[in-house]
């Protein structure tokens, strides 16, 4: 069915409608009836190669971003697709091919205010900074996972201060120091606003994911751009830091120092200070654009139309997008929830669990045992600097056991030690050898009559996906080789494959073909179902960020290892893909999601003759999951630990009687109480 264009506001029309209330100057970015492409539309593939998808992006786009306005305009793009959000921000910077070429211009950058006072900002790529957070750990160095946790620092390990100035060479010359000199007051102000003062002399390779996020924003601010494009800036940030960063960005945007343009996921809370929104679907078309209230009203009306035309069967993809976006915006309080929400509330979570889960669980032997763990670098303690009550008595350090069959959520503020805790489980942390940690009831070092457990045995019994693994993973491996590496000691060594392993790889590639095959479209879902040649010719580095995360998630789970570790593994995935992965984690091929005209995504048993090769999590497995987003926590999580901020007391423990996304956020709020 052809979709009727829903473009009801362009920025130029919005300007006209509100001209009696607002004053504008010449635009800093002006786009008039333009269409964009990643490659030239007339380009042809090399002989013997399939043509890469090159759809028209944002066809007939008209947009005008004023350099100054009264009141200020603060923009964001909202889309369920990470690729589309990123592409839009790059277009603002003058990237991607524009047709016609003259349809995109930057009038303000050629004005005397820029050419005479800030001549280096005449160029869009300098005046409009982009900060993306995909695989951000790569920007801070480190050639292996353990590097982040080593206490011995080399001369080449540059600090946060040097990172912010851009001086990262060992022996910078006078000319380099002079050229990269940063105003001291500006440096102190930015570091204060982003709470980086106490990390000023800390090597950037030791920053947590949330801390490194703030450091990247700070570096961009110090370059003095006219516009700062932040791509999904709240990914991986705890709720408290998210609110603080949003306030800082609001203050900067109000002062036009610089102007801020955000990309937001549907699950993000749209900041109150955002005044204008661009909503684009997964197909790269702008459905709505203009003042936030008008865009929200349009989405709500579109959703009501979908519900009014309810028929049996699933939704088309574009309607499914709108329905899901509206549902998530309702949960965030952007507008009132559906009046009949109670009647349409789901009976099962997205991964097939009841609101109150009464299913019996089999809890087996302990496979992770920590008896008084404390991790410190000199006088700086990063984990376990507390007294914890164990069996009625206070004891020093972290005491924590993980048993087979348990599903643990690990929560806490940025920098509280979550990833450090997991590095003790994976044995990537050097102090695992000396810390009181047992894995599979054995220590790393030999004990009388008991051999120590080797790193190779540990790796063979664990699956691990995290931003650090993503940043360091070889980009030249094919998709098939990436999954095969789950059976090897390292990603680049030869795997030891059995017939069962090959079947699991084939089944996983078939199940996620639409997400992993760059040449696949939703209209071709069945046409090439049996042909997996693309998995051997497509490289990991050629996939979108979301698809790369999917592949690493599959690599971590495909072997049914004794311990599955998912550290922010779902962050950065597109919403529909994330939900599919969550269901696959718990149910494997036995269930799939069905999106209906009303209500939530519904897990249903797989139809047709499908041989179940991957059944999902098993009783003998333990799951450890770290996330800052309620929507990225698997519904099977039943136990949780919340690590404290340094010096604030012991961790808190608790349990759930059902999935996090089924009680309106009450279970989630229980975890974070005390942090506000």
Q: Two tokens at 160?
A: 């946060």
C-alpha span between 199 and 161 (Å, rounded): 8
Helix axes 82-92, 545-557, angle to 10 degrees: 150
Q: Which of 299, 322, 345 is the last residue of a domain?
A: 322
List the one residue out of 87, 148, 642 whose CA is nearest residue 426.
148
Mean pLDDT for the stretch of residues 57-66: 96
Average pLDDT of the segment spanning 346-368: 88
Interatomic CA distance for residues 657 and 667, integer angstroms: 9
Find where tokens 């292996």 sit. 144
- Same-domain pairing of 388 and 307: no
Domain assignment present for residue 570? The answer is yes
Torsion of the alpha carbons at 514, 517, 523 and 528, rounded to the nearest 10: -100
At 287-330, the pLDDT tens digits run: 999 999 999 889 888 877 776 765 555 555 566 777 777 777 76
Q: Which residues touch 88 (CB under 8 Å, ≥6 apart)?
A: 58, 77, 79, 263, 278, 280
Residue 416 within a domain: yes
Q: What confidence tens digit (pLDDT) does each residue in 205-241 have? A: 778 767 888 888 999 998 889 999 999 888 878 888 8
Residue 53 three-state SS: coil
CB 603 within 8 A of CB 350: yes
Question: Are 254 and 371 within one domain?
Answer: no
- Contact indicator for 27, 108 with CB cutoff of 8 Å: yes
pLDDT tens digits for 492-522? 899 999 999 999 999 999 999 999 998 775 4
This prediction has a pTM of 0.87
Q: What's the pLDDT score for residue 212?
A: 82
Classify residue 24: in a domain, yes or no. yes
Is residue 384 located within the same domain as residue 238?
A: no
Band the pLDDT of 8: cuts 50, 70, 90: very low
Q: Which of 269, 292, 322 is the last residue of a domain?
A: 322
Helices (H), 489-530: 499-511, 513-516
What's the mean pLDDT in 600-626?
Answer: 86
Residue 273 lies in a domain: yes
Q: Looking at the structure, do residues 445 and 533 belong to the same domain, yes or no?
A: yes
State whether 313 and 395 are in the same domain: no
Q: Which two tokens stand for residue 289?
A: 């654009």
Q: Which is it for the CA torsion 141, 143, 144, 146, positive or negative?
A: negative
Mean pLDDT of 648-654: 93
| Whether residues 510 and 423 fall in one domain | yes
Residue 123 is part of which domain span?
A: 11-41+55-322
Q: Which residues of 329-341 are buried (b: 16+ CB within 10 A; e: fewer)?
A: bbbeebeeebeee
Q: Are residues 523 and 636 in the same domain?
A: yes
Domain total of the chain = 2
Q: How far apart (Å, rounded) are the C-alpha atoms in residues 195 and 214?
A: 8
Nearest-angstrom CA–CA distance, 211 and 194? 9
- Give the distance, in angstroms, between the CA of residue 73 and the centroid of all CA atoms in the same chain: 27
Q: Are residues 393 and 314 in the same domain?
A: no
Q: Are residues 98 and 22 in the same domain?
A: yes
CA distance 487 to 493: 9
Is the pLDDT at 636 greater than 50, yes or no? yes
Contacts of 203 (CB under 8 A, 6+ apart): 153, 157, 158, 159, 160
Inside any domain, residue 382: yes
User: Among the residues of 263-380, which ranges form H helices?
Assistant: 292-308, 317-331, 341-344
Q: What is the distance between the alpha carbons of residues 517 and 102, in angstroms, rounded to a whole number?
A: 34
> Residue 472: exposed, middle, or buried by beta-carbon count in 10 A (0-12, 13-18, 19+)?
middle
Residues in the chain: 676
432-473: per-residue pLDDT in tens?
889 999 999 999 988 888 888 999 999 999 999 998 899 889
CATH number, domain containing residue 110: 3.40.50.300
Per the domain annotation, does 314 fall within a domain?
Answer: yes
**Interacting residues of 622 by C-beta distance below 8 A, sequence separation 6+:** 367, 368, 402, 403, 404, 405, 406, 407, 408, 562, 563, 564
Q: Verify that 402 and 271 share a domain, yes or no.
A: no
136 and 231 co-located in one domain: yes
Is residue 130 classed as helix, strand or coil in its secondary structure? strand
Single out the residue in 289, 322, 355 at which a domain terminates. 322
* In-domain check, residue 339: no
Does the pLDDT at position 185 exceed 90? no
Are 422 and 528 contained in the same domain? yes
Residues 6+ apart with CB under 8 A from 393: none
Judge whether 455 lies within some domain: yes
């Amino acid at each position: 069915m052809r979709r009727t264009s829903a473009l009801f506001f362009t920025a130029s029309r919005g300007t006209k409608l509100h001209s009696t209330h607002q004053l504008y100057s010449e635009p800093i970015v002006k786009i008039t009836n333009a269409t964009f492409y990643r490659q030239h539309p007339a380009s042809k593939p090399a002989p013997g190669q399939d043509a890469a998808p090159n759809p028209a992006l944002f066809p007939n786009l008209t947009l005008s971003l004023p350099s100054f306005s009264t009141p200020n305009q603060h923009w964001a793009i909202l889309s369920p697709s990470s690729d589309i959000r990123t592409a839009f921000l790059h277009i603002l910077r003058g990237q991607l091919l524009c047709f016609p070429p003259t349809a995109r211009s930057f009038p303000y950058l050629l004005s005397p205010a820029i050419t005479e006072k800030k001549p280096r900002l005449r160029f869009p790529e300098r005046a409009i900074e982009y900060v993306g957070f995909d695989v951000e750990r790569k920007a801070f160095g480190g050639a292996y996972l353990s590097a982040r946790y080593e206490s011995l620092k080399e001369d080449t390990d540059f600090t946060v201060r040097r990172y912010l100035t851009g001086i990262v060479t060992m022996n910078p010359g006078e000319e380099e120091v002079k050229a990269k000199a940063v105003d001291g007051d500006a440096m102190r102000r930015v570091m204060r606003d982003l709470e980086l003062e106490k990390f000023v002399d800390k090597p950037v390779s030791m920053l947590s994911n949330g801390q490194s996020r703030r450091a990247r924003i700070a570096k961009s601010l110090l370059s003095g751009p006219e516009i700062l494009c932040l791509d999904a800036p709240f990914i991986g940030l705890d709720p408290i830091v998210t609110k603080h960063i949003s306030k800082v960005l609001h203050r900067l945007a109000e002062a036009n120092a610089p102007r801020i343009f955000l990309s937001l996921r549907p699950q993000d809370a749209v900041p109150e200070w955002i005044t204008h929104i661009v909503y684009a679907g997964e197909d790269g078309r702008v459905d709505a654009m203009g003042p936030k209230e008008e865009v929200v009203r349009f989405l709500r009306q579109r959703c009501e139309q979908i519900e009014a035309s309810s028929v049996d069967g699933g939704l088309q993809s574009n309607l499914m997008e709108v329905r899901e976006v509206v549902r998530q915006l309702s949960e965030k309080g952007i507008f009132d929830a559906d009046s009949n929400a109670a009647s349409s509330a789901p009976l099962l979570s997205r991964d097939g669990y009841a609101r109150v889960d009464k299913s019996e669980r089999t809890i087996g032997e302990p496979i992770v045992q920590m008896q008084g763990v404390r991790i410190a670098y000199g006088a700086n303690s990063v984990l376990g600097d507390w007294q914890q009550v164990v069996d009625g008595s206070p004891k020093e350090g972290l005491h924590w056991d993980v048993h087979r069959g348990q599903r643990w959520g690990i929560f806490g503020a940025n920098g509280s030690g979550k990833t450090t805790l997991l590095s003790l489980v994976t044995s990537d942390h050097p102090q695992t050898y000396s810390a009181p940690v047992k894995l599979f009831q054995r220590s790393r070092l030999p004990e009388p009559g008991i051999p120590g457990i080797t790193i190779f045995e540990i790796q063979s019994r664990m699956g691990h996906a995290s931003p650090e693994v993503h940043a360091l993973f070889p980009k030249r491996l094919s998709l098939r080789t990436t999954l095969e590496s789950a059976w090897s000691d390292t990603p680049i060594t030869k795997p030891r494959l059995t017939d069962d392993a090959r079947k699991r790889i084939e089944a996983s590639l078939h199940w996620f073909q639409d997400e992993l095959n760059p040449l696949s479209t939703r209209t071709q879902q069945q046409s090439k179902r049996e042909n997996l040649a693309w998995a051997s010719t497509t490289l990991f580095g050629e996939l979108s960020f979301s698809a790369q995360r999917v592949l690493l998630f599959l690599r971590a789970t495909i072997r049914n290892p004794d311990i599955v570790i998912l550290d922010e593994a779902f962050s950065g995935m597109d919403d529909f893909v994330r939900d599919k992965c969550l269901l696959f984690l718990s149910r494997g091929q036995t269930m799939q999601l069905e999106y209906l005209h009303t209500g939530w995504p519904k897990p249903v048993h797989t139809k047709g003759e499908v041989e179940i090769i991957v059944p999902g999590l098993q009783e003998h497995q333990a799951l450890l999951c770290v996330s800052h987003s309620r929507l990225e926590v698997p519904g099977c999580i039943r136990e949780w630990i919340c690590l404290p901020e340094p010096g604030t007391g012991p961790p808190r423990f608790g349990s759930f009687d059902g999935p996090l996304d089924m009680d309106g956020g009450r279970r989630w709020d229980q975890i974070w109480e005390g942090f506000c």
